[in-house]
């Protein structure tokens, strides 16, 4: 069950979160997990991520909600826990004024709309910073914002698959990542940039605008590839590795990851396999030679692993060689590491629903606990509470 109050080292930071979908909310969730006071500002019909399945059994549609239902799916829940929700229609002057009053008392405001949308609504960086010169304004965009660098694609819409493809990840890896990496990583960089800018603003008394482009963030994940291409001007083929063995190998009940390019790990692996001959074999006696004979080296390892279960392999190699079973989520839920680190946390949603699980914060502090303290919010659930806390009396 969630704690009753915010915990973590960022309790003195207030963030007005105008992001929707995945990239922006992923980043603000990281900050909320560490104690930031995150106020999620949603349009009248709510964040469009609310209607992404799966849904708890007792579910009510966001704009036809009753007080006993849950107006979100679990995708929304995963990136919006530890936040409070208010509902504002920024197309109206009254609600724009409410947003500006919230920003007057905040450390930061973030959004992930296309460049220029907030300006057209009358609540862009220039307007907000005029009301609060100390505020940090962060944006996640597909191709950046003209304030930090013009792009010929600045006004293009962008989703994860486009960011992965344009930024080089697809051709570098050979396929699209099934996880929304070009959403999650830009969101993570946004959280980092926000903390840096707030730190500076508190020192100088002057706020800052910054943005993270999904295209740019995807390129950042390829820094080693880019450095290599800058030297050789050669495109590396997906799957070609300079480290061997380094990858997935078959087990009798699935797959297991083994990484033994370092020579002492290779010796341990060969000993475990009963193949001491491979330690001195001229085809496998060094990582350079194994890379030149990758198919042969990998085949020797696979011949051993394929006759053992994942846990048998881990039982032999664990603590000696970098190894990890390719766990299903069912196996992850039962792993003692997950319990020991408290990386799964449960909460009780409204209505007649069972307790549900969410991934906790992976950032652990010794003296400042992080974790789940606020269930994912219903649409506009905290409207009255937040208005009273900020001393705002809406005009409508």
8 lies in some domain: no
| Greatest alpha-carbon span in the chain | 81
**Residues sharing a CB contact under 8 Å with residue 255, sequence separation 6 or more, in sequence order:** 248, 249, 310, 325, 326
- Whether residue 2 lies inside any domain: the answer is no
Per-residue pLDDT band for 65 (boundaries 50, 70, 90) equals: low
In a domain, 350, yes or no: no
| Cβ contact 95:88 at 8 Å | yes
Mark which of 290, 316, 334 sits at the end of a domain.
Answer: 334
- Residues 71, 107, 145, 183: which is the catalytic one? 183
Q: Determine, yes or no, domain membership for 85.
A: yes
Q: Give the residue with greater pLDDT, 228 vs 208.
A: 208
**Residue 183 known to be catalytic:** yes
The CATH number of the domain where 31 resides is what?
A: 3.40.50.10540
316 and 194 within one domain: no
How far apart CA 89 and CA 92 sit, in angstroms, is: 6
Residue 255 within a domain: yes
Residue 351 domain-assigned (yes or no): no
Q: Do residues 355 and 346 make contact, with C-beta atoms less than 8 angstroms apart?
A: yes
pLDDT confidence band for 64 (50 / 70 / 90) = low
Same domain, 18 and 101: yes
Question: Where in the sequence is the domain holding 260, given as residue range(s)?
Answer: 246-334
Please give the Cα distance from 145 to 154 (Å, whole number).
6
Q: How far apart are CA 41 and CA 17, in angstroms?
A: 6
Are residues 171 and 288 both part of a single domain?
Answer: no
- Per-residue model confidence as pLDDT tens digits over 247-287: 999 999 999 999 999 999 999 999 999 999 999 999 999 99
Same domain, 271 and 142: no
Total tally of structural domains belonging to the chain: 2
Query: Is 24 found in the same domain as 134?
Result: yes
- Residues 25, 140, single domain; the answer is yes
Question: Quick one: 77 and 216 in the same domain?
Answer: yes
pLDDT band at 135 (very low <50, low <70, confident <90, very high): very high
Q: Are residues 129 and 265 in the same domain?
A: no
- Separation of alpha carbons 385 and 390, rounded Å: 9
Q: Note whether 317 and 181 are same-domain residues.
A: no
Confidence of residue 352 (pLDDT cuts 50, 70, 90): confident
Same domain? For 367 and 313 the reply is: no
CATH of the domain at 320: 3.30.1540.10
Residue ending a domain, choose from 296, 319, 334: 334
Same domain membership, residue 82 and residue 188: yes
Q: Which of 110, 213, 208, 194 is nearest to 155 (CA)?
A: 213
> How far is it, in rounded angstroms, from Cα 295 to Cα 245?
10
Decide which of 334, 351, 380 is a domain's last residue: 334
Residue 349 lies in a domain: no
In a domain, 234, yes or no: no
Distance, in Å, from the CA atom of 287 to the CA atom of 279, rounded to the nearest integer, reads 11
Q: What is the DSSP letter of 242?
A: S
The pLDDT tens digits of the residues spanning 31-57 come to: 999 999 999 999 999 999 999 999 998
pLDDT tens, residue by residue, 81-107:
999 999 999 999 999 999 999 999 999
Based on the fold, state whether residues 317 and 210 are members of the same structural domain.
Answer: no
Q: How many CB atoms lie within 10 A of CB 243?
A: 14
Quote the mean pLDDT of the chain.
Answer: 93
């Amino acid at each position: 069950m969630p704690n009753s109050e915010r915990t973590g080292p960022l309790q003195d930071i207030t963030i007005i979160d105008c992001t929707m979908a995945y990239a922006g909310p992923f980043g603000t969730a990281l900050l909320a997990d560490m104690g930031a006071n995150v106020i999620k500002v949603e349009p009248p019909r709510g964040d469009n991520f609310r209607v992404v399945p799966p849904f708890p059994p007792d579910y009510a549609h966001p704009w036809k909600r009753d007080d006993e239902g849950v107006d979100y799916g679990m995708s929304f829940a995963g990136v919006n826990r530890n936040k409070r929700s208010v509902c504002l229609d920024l197309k109206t002057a009254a609600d724009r004024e409410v947003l500006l009053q919230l920003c007057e008392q905040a450390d930061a405001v973030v959004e992930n709309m296309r460049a220029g949308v907030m300006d057209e609504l009358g609540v862009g960086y220039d307007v907000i910073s005029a009301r609060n010169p100390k505020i940090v304004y962060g944006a996640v965009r597909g191709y950046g914002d003209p304030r930090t660098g013009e792009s010929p694609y600045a006004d293009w819409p962008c989703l994860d698959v486009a960011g992965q493809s344009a930024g080089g990840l697809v051709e570098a890896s050979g396929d699209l990542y099934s996880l929304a990496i070009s959403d999650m990583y830009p969101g993570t960089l946004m959280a980092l940039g926000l903390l840096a800018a707030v730190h500076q603003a508190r020192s100088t008394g002057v706020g800052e605008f910054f943005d993270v482009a999904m295209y740019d963030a995807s390129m950042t994940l390829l820094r080693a590839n880019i450095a290599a291409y800058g030297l050789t001007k050669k495109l590396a083929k997906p799957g070609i590795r300079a480290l061997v063995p380094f990858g997935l190998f078959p087990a009798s009940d699935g797959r297991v990851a083994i990484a033994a390019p370092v020579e002492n790990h290779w010796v341990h692996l060969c000993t475990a396999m009963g193949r001491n001959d491979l330690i001195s074999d001229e085809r496998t006696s060094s990582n350079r030679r194994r890379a030149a004979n990758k198919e042969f080296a990998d085949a020797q390892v696979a011949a051993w692993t394929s006759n053992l279960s994942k846990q048998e392999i881990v039982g032999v190699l664990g603590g000696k060689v970098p190894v990890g079973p390719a766990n299903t989520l069912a196996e992850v839920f039962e792993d003692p590491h997950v319990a020991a680190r408290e990386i799964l946390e449960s909460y009780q949603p409204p209505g007649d629903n069972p307790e549900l699980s969410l991934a906790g914060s992976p950032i652990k502090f010794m003296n400042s606990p992080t974790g789940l303290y606020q269930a994912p919010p219903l649409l506009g659930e905290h409207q009255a509470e937040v208005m009273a806390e900020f001393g705002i009396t809406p005009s409508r």
